[in-house]
């Protein structure tokens, strides 16, 4: 991703796209995020290409920036909770049980579900590797 690309420019491009293609606008960025996530596959067709045209990015760069950088502002970072996740893995071992217990404990916190699952899977695999070495 181009280092000079800032979240503000990308946010502006998303606002332009939603306004131009869907004739709507919102007060908060999270509403744009929710709106884009709610679109059907048919409605999303060409979305990254169109957004990218506003800021001179190709569709792959645009999609990756959206998923890896821009959308992160709407979620609590999972890395902050690694020690707790490790304790839960020690307690439950099953990634599904760890996820269920963790989300039960943090009902009022919004996490990126995919990131949370990846971190739990990675920590579980590391623990299993450590067990296998013993």
Is the residue at 105 inside a domain?
yes
Q: What is the pLDDT of residues 56-90, one digit of tens each?
A: 999 999 999 999 889 999 999 999 999 999 999 99
pTM of the entire predicted model: 0.75
Domain that holds residue 64: 7-74
Is the residue at 85 inside a domain?
yes
Q: What is the pLDDT of residues 6-63, one digit of tens each?
A: 889 999 999 999 999 999 999 999 999 999 999 999 999 999 999 999 999 999 999 9
Query: In this model, does residue 3 exceed pLDDT 60?
Result: no
**How many separate domains does the chain show?**
2
Cα 122 to the center of its chain, rounded Å: 17
| DSSP codes joined into one string, 61-108 | HHHHHHHHTGGGGGS--GGGGHHHHHHHHHHH--HHHHHHHHHHHTTT
Of 78, 82, 73, 6, the C-alpha closest to 33 is 73
């Amino acid at each position: 991703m181009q280092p000079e690309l800032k979240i503000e420019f990308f946010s502006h491009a998303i606002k332009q796209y939603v306004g131009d293609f869907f004739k709507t606008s919102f007060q908060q960025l999270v509403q744009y995020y929710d709106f884009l996530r709610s679109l059907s596959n048919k409605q999303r067709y060409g979305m990254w290409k169109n957004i990218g045209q506003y800021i001179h990015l190709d569709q792959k760069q645009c999609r990756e920036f959206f998923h890896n950088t821009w959308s992160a502002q709407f979620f609590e970072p999972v890395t902050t909770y690694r020690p707790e996740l490790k304790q839960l893995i020690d307690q439950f071992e099953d990634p599904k049980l760890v996820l269920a217990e963790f989300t039960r404990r943090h009902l009022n916190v919004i996490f990126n579900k995919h990131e949370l699952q990846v971190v739990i899977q990675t920590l579980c695999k590391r623990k299993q590797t450590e067990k296998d070495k013993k």
